[in-house]
Amino acid sequence: MDARSTNWGFNSENGRCHYNASPGLYVHVPFCRSRCTYCDFHVAAMRPTVMVDYIEALKSEIDQVANSGFIPKTIFIGGGTPSALPQEQWIQLLEALAESFSDSLVEWTIEANPESINPQKIKAALQAGVDRFSTGAQTFSEKGLSLMGRRHNAQRVVEVHRWFEELGVPRTSLDIIVGWPGQDLESIDNDLAAVERIDPDHISLYHLSYESGTWLHAMRERGGLKPLLDDTCIKFSNAFLSGLRLQGYRRYEVSNLEKRGGVSWHNLNYWQRGEYWGIGSGAASFIEGQRWKNKPDVGAYIAAGGSPERIDLEKSGELDIVVELIMLQLRLSSGLDLNHFRNLTKHQFKDLCKGSLRNFTEKGFLTEEAGYVRATQRGFDVLDSMILQFVEDAEKRLNART
Ligand code: SF4
Could you report the per-residue pLDDT of 190-199, keeping only the tens digit for each?
Answer: 999 999 999 9
Residue 6 has pLDDT above 80, yes or no: no
Nearest CA to ligand 1 atom 5: 35
Strand 310-315 relative to strand 31-32, pairing: unpaired
Choosing from 41, 85, 150, 209 the residue with most ligand 1 atoms within 8 A of its CB, the one to mutate for a pocket test is: 41
Q: For 62-83, what is each residue's pLDDT tens digit?
A: 999 999 999 999 999 999 999 9
- Cα(284) to centroid of ligand 1, in Å? 18
Taking only the tens place, the pLDDT of each residue in 363-394 is: 999 999 999 999 999 999 999 999 999 999 99
Taking the C-alpha atoms of residue 136 and residue 176, their distance in angstroms, rounded to an integer, is 7
Cis peptide before 149 (omega within 30 of 0): no
**Residues facing 113 on adjacent strands:** none
Average pLDDT, the chain: 93
**How far away, in angstroms, is 41 Cα from ligand 1 center?**
7
Whether the per-residue pLDDT at 44 is higher than 80: the answer is yes
381, 374 in Cβ contact below 8 A?
Answer: no
User: By three-state DSSP, how is residue 79 classified?
Assistant: strand
Q: Domains of the chain: which residue ranges?
A: 24-271, 318-400
Band (pLDDT 50/70/90 cuts) for residue 15 is: low
User: What is residue 399's predicted lDDT score, i.e. its pLDDT?
Assistant: 86
Distance in Å, CA 178 to ligand 1 centroid: 16
CATH superfamily of 24-271: tm_1862 like domain (3.80.30.20)
Report the C-alpha gap between 334 and 248 in whole angstroms: 18
The answer to whether 150 and 36 are in contact (CB under 8 A) is yes
Q: What per-residue string of b and e applies to 270-288 under the rule 16 or more CB within 10 Å gives b?
A: bbbbbbbbbbbbbbbbbee
Residue having the nearest C-alpha atom to atom 6 of ligand 1:
36
CA distance 236 to 224: 22
Query: Is the Cα dihedral 228, 232, 234, 238 positive or negative?
Result: negative
30 CB within 6 A, ligand 1: no
Closest atom of ligand 1 relative to the 80 alpha carbon:
3
pLDDT of 1: 32
Q: Count the Cβ atoms, other than its own, within 10 Å of residue 43.
A: 23
Q: Does domain 318-400 have CATH number 3.40.50.300?
A: no
The alpha carbon dihedral of 215, 217, 222, 225 has a sign of positive
Confidence (pTM): 0.93
Please count the helices (runs of H) and the strands (runs of E) in the chain: 16, 17
Q: How far apart are alpha carbons 360 and 366 in whole angstroms?
A: 6
Helix (H) or strand (E) holding 22: none
In this structure, the number of other CB atoms found within 10 A of the CB of residue 219 comes to 17
Atom of ligand 1 nearest to the CA of 34: 5
